Amino acid sequence: MSHRLSLSRAAQLVGVHRSTLQKMVSEGRLATDEGMVAAEELRRAFPLADLEGSGAIEWVNRIREESFGRRVRERLLPSQEVLAQRLFAQGLELAEMRRTVQRYHALVESLAAALRADLEGHPAQPRLAALLADGLGRALAGEASDAVAAIDDALRVMTPRVEVRPSGHEFYVEGRDSVLQAGLKAGLRLSYGCENGTCGLCRARVVDGEAQRIRNHDYPLSEAERAQGHILMCAYSAVTDLKIETLEASGPQDIPRQEIVTTVRAVTPLGPDTRLLHLQTPRASRLRFLAGQSADLGAAVAAGDVHGHYPIASCPCDDRNLHFHVGRDDADAFATDVFSGALRAGERVTLVGPAGDFVLRSGDGRPLVFLACDLGFAPVKSLLEYALSADASSSYTVAWLATRPDGHYLANQCRAWAAALDGFAWIPLAHAEPAAGAEELVAALRECPDLVRSDVYVAGPEPFARAAEFALLSAGVPAGSIAIHAS
Ligand code: FES
């Protein structure tokens, strides 16, 4: 029987996004059976030459060739204990398969002997004997070793797969990541709090597979919980592929309000009138938020307390390092202190949040279109980074209107995405008027055949947001597919 792989493992192996394979399945270009792809079918769709050039094979080869150089040990490999557990688990599986094959072999041989005895002298005996000998000969000769199966086995040791129930989401655990870290990197909205084994909010039940504790935790799991397979995702890693039951946030209402004293890591110019404010939370007190949400920031400086409310411009997959795009504004005391240098590296900033419902909806892989005006690019960047890490779609369009002298202050980042990703379109536009610019931007998007079946996210000043919404509705985009963040 052909080796079978889950869609996400197949995507990992051939070095494409899972959404790309899903698109091929829906277009009939890749056959699946109960959500699994046969290795032969994968080879047909991605000939061996492509497989050999894929990131996964390169990655496996790199580990083999660099054989345990320091960098590989630290960044790609799990701890020795976890690696030993994974090899042991795979060894057990291999031993069980050997036993099964031996039992089948013995059964076939005894059947053949019984047939020979029963058909002694029968005219059909020579033909049946030849058929059996031929079949056995071919089975024992075996097939050439299967590169797909071999690499899949290597990937199972290096990056076990975790399936979350009841959502069906899945992700891979790489290097020394805990189950929680790996899930957050993959863009899952898992429940958690402290990330250091104290609060118990990351409890999950292992339904299938084996997990290994990789750090101590203070939160006491009861005997009954342990017996039922409960773990703390922040303190355990995966030994084998896992199926776990745990909570995931369905929307902003499931994210608690938090108050965290952060430290300014850096204030970096993005343009003469735009600053990147980089805040870092304490290691044991990270911000749980959804991409696209905002936060209140407060600081006590020499001139008194200052406050501001800003969208978070970074991805929730890094919940310690929070980025904000701050524009020069004399009416905003917090922004003034950012520009004057009063708020510099090492200062404390109290963050309260998250807030807002400008978050990614579950769009079943539908195309994603983002319209931003000026600093409205901040929440769009957070949504985009999250969508990319969660592999939420195979089609992304970013249309950014600049009305300020700072223009498209992260144009390099957009160009890099467009160059690196298939299905990524980047449309910059400069215009003095936000409302007229919004209409021009939507007119450019009308060329895109997917616009009416896309999920569209609009962020920017009120006149821009309203004009864009009106133009999108006129273009036939359903109101339910448009999300607005007006500042
Ligand atoms: S996140 Fe608090 S115990 Fe895991």
Question: For residue 198, which atom of ligand 1 is closest to its CA?
Answer: 3
Do 265 and 234 touch, CB atoms closer than 8 A? no
Distance between Cα 194 and ligand 1 center (Å): 5
CATH class of this structure's domain 159-248 = alpha beta
62-71, 220-229, 347-356, 432-441: which has the minimum mean pLDDT?
62-71
State the residue for tokens 């002997």.
113
333: confidence class by pLDDT, cuts 50, 70, 90? very high
CA–CA separation, 247 vs 193, rounded Å? 13
Q: What contacts 346, CB < 8 A, 6 or more positions away?
A: 263, 264
Least confident of 100-104, 274-278, 338-342, 476-480: 100-104
Q: Is the pLDDT of residue 75 over 60?
A: no
Q: CA 300, CA 291: separation in Å to the nearest integer? A: 27
Query: Which pair of structure tokens corresponds to residue 427?
Result: 């449309």
Whether the predicted pLDDT of 74 surpasses 80: no
What is the pLDDT averaged over residues 68-95?
65
Most confident of 182-191, 195-204, 300-309, 349-358: 349-358
Ligand 1 nearest-atom number relative to CA 235: 4
Per-residue pLDDT tens digits for 364-413: 778 999 999 999 999 999 999 999 888 888 889 999 999 999 999 999 99
Q: How far is the CA of 217 from the centre of ligand 1 (A)?
A: 8
Alpha-carbon span 156 to 91, nearest angstrom: 12
Rounded Cα distance between 293 and 373, Å, is 17
Task: Please check whether residue 461 is in contact with residue 432, taking contact to mean a CB–CB distance below 8 angstroms.
Answer: no
Domain ranges in the chain are 159-248, 256-355, 368-486
The CA distance from 98 to 119, in Å, is 31
Distance 445 CA to ligand 1 centre (A): 44
Q: What integer best gives the mean pLDDT of the chain? A: 85
Name the one residue in this structure whose structure tokens are 């608690």: 256
Which helix (DSSP H) or strand (DSSP E) does residue 7 occupy?
helix 7-14
Q: Ligand 1: does its nearest atom lie under 6 Å from the Cβ of 464?
A: no
Q: Which architecture, in CATH terms, is 368-486?
A: 3-Layer(aba) Sandwich (3.40)
Alpha-carbon distance of 281 to 297, in angstroms, equals 13
- On the question of a common fold for 159-248 and 256-355, the answer reads no
Q: Are 279 and 262 in contact (CB under 8 A)?
A: yes
Per CATH, the homologous superfamily of domain 256-355 is Translation factors (2.40.30.10)
DSSP β-bridge partners for residue 397: 369, 425
Residue 64 clears pLDDT 60, i.e. is over it:
no
Best residue among 198, 281, 288 to mutate for probing ligand 1, ranked by most atoms within 8 Å of CB: 198
| pLDDT for 363 | 61
Instruction: Tell me the two tokens of residue 339.
Output: 């520009």
Q: Is 325 left (phi over 0), alpha (psi -120 to 50) or beta?
A: beta
- pLDDT value of position 85: 73
CA dihedral 14, 17, 19, 22 (to 10 degrees): 0
Category of 94 on φ-ψ map: left (φ > 0), alpha (ψ -120 to 50) or beta:
alpha
Is any atom of ligand 1 closer than 6 Å to the C-beta of 183?
A: no
User: Full-prediction pTM beyond 0.85?
Assistant: no
**What is the distance between the alpha carbons of residues 163 and 378, in angstroms, rounded to a whole number?**
32
Q: How many CA atoms lie within 13 A of 269 on its CB side?
A: 7
Count of other CB atoms within 10 angstroms of residue 399: 25
Q: How far is the CA of 257 from the centre of ligand 1 (A)?
A: 17
User: Mean pLDDT across the stretch 257-276?
Assistant: 96
Confidence (pLDDT) at 51:
54
Half-sphere exposure (CA, 13 Å, Cβ side) for 4? 9
Q: Is the pLDDT of residue 294 over 80?
A: yes
Q: What gap in Å lies between CA 337 and CA 328, rounded to an integer?
A: 10
Atom number, ligand 1, closest to the C-alpha of residue 200 = 3
Task: Tell which residue, 312, 299, 426, has the closest CA to residue 369.
Answer: 426
CA 462: distance to chain centroid?
32
Structure confidence at residue 391 (pLDDT): 80
Q: Using a 6 Å cutoff on CB, does residue 200 contact ligand 1?
A: yes
Cα–Cα distance, 298 to 259 (Å, whole number): 11
Q: Quick check: 147 and 48 in contact, CB under 8 A?
A: yes
